[in-house]
């Protein structure tokens, strides 16, 4: 039997995080007050501090959790086969992973400047690590002789920007299915790397 006291916390904590995520994505970190978050969960503002030391840590821990999940899922799903297979897997992974996480992406890209310098460095390092994953694929394809890119760093950034841009317009009830989007972008990425 779980303790009654503990179980309350285990239920409320995720709700606090979910509310913060939703509100930060909708209005921006700086524009959201602790009172708003509390109201969304059905608490008083003071009660939030049982779940987070402060507002900054709430933002940081949401971003950190997102980046950790991203890197873990990427490593798991993009590691098999030659450079071509891995590039295909990366494109598909990036698109599908991001489609279900519109709020997280929004925050991860928009709220970097609201992190303290130390927290920023942590997130930035994780972001670079993700970029390196793609760049390693491009480098492998180059040495295998199946890709043709004049500058692998710039190509990496261009491809990620292109793919991440999907989140600004994709809607689940829109004209294109996730599979069609993935197919269209894979076609473009394939051309960009000269494969």
Partner DNA sequence: GTCTATACTCTGATAGAC
Partner DNA sequence: GTCTATCAGAGTATAGAC
* Residues binding DNA (CB under 7 A): 5-6, 8-9, 12, 32-36, 38, 42-47, 49-51, 53-56
Please identify which residue in 7, 9, 14, 26 interacts with a copy of itself, judged by CB under 8 A.
26
The SS3 assignment for 86 reads helix
Please identify, among the stretches 45-53, 87-95, 116-124, 177-185, the one whose residues bind a copy of itself according to the rule CB under 8 A.
177-185
18 binds, among a copy of itself, DNA, none (CB under 5 to 8 A by kind): none
Q: Residue 145 CB, nearest distance to a copy of itself (Å)?
A: 18
Neighbours of 58 (CB within 10 A): 23
Q: Residue written as tokens 């285990």? A: 10
Tokens of 181: 């989007």
Phi, psi of 89 (to 5 degrees): -65, -40
Residue 55, contacted partner among DNA, a copy of itself, none, CB below 5-8 A by kind: DNA
Work out what residue 187 binds among DNA, a copy of itself, none; the CB cut-off runs from 5 to 8 Å by kind: a copy of itself
5 binds, among a copy of itself, DNA, none (CB under 5 to 8 A by kind): DNA
| CB contact set of 144 (below 8 Å; sequence gap of 6+) | 82, 83
């Amino acid at each position: 039997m779980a303790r009654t006291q503990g179980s309350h916390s285990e239920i409320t904590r995720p709700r606090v995080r979910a509310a913060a995520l939703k509100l930060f994505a909708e209005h921006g970190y700086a524009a959201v007050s602790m009172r708003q978050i509390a109201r969304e969960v059905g608490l008083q503002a003071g009660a939030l501090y049982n779940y987070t030391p402060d507002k900054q840590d709430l933002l940081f821990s949401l971003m950190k959790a997102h980046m950790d999940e991203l890197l873990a899922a990427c490593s798991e799903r993009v590691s098999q086969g030659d450079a071509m297979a891995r590039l295909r897997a990366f494109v598909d992974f990036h698109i599908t992973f991001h489609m279900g996480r519109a709020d997280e992406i929004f925050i991860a890209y928009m709220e970097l400047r609201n992190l303290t310098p130390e927290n920023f460095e942590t997130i930035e390092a994780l972001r670079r690590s993700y970029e390196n994953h793609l760049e390693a694929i491009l480098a492998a394809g180059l040495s295998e002789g199946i890709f043709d890119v004049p500058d692998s760093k710039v190509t990496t950034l261009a491809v990620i920007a292109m793919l991440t841009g999907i989140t600004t317009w994709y809607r689940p009830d829109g004209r294109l299915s996730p599979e069609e989007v993935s197919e269209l972008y894979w076609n473009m990425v394939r051309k960009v790397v000269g494969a």
